[in-house]
Amino acid sequence: MRIVLFRLIGILEIAGGFYGASAALRRLLPLGSTHDSVAALIALALFGFVLAAGVQLLDNNERGVRMSRWAQLLQLPLIATPMFSYALHCGAFVNVYATLQFATRLGIDWHVGSQGFLLAARGPAVSRLGINLLALLSWLALKLR
């Protein structure tokens, strides 16, 4: 069971990391504003790290397990406030979040076969805080092996 879970996590990391790195390269190459270039470089580094972690994990390497734990922790938070926004997912996500308005509203969102990165000094008018449950479960599977 351990091998199947590790392979599934590794495949999602490789697919999401590769797709995210190629999207970051596509954003980086037109050489737009400095802010866009810095965000694209950070995205490229993060997706490259996740890709390398997935390759190491599929090789059944102990270093890959450690790197994958960090990769899953990077994908855990979902923060979208008017002051700061951060979100990362590679391969798939199951986000559980709370929208903070006059009345707090809980929600769930999921997708398989995708990648995403958001890092901004400004965010939406309506704050949203949450966690990626898939990243949490993957981190626990890697931690409790």
pLDDT digits (tens, 9 = 90+) for 21-62: 999 998 888 776 777 788 889 999 999 999 999 999 999 889
Residue with tokens 């996590």: 9
For the residues 93-115, what does the mean pLDDT come to?
90
> What pTM does this model have?
0.89
The pLDDT mean for the chain works out to 91
What are the structural domain ranges in the chain? 2-143
Contacts of 130 (CB under 8 A, 6+ apart): 77, 78, 95, 96, 97, 98
Q: How far apart are CA 128 and CA 81, in angstroms?
A: 6
- Residue 145 has what pLDDT? 67
| Radius of gyration, CA atoms only, the chain | 16
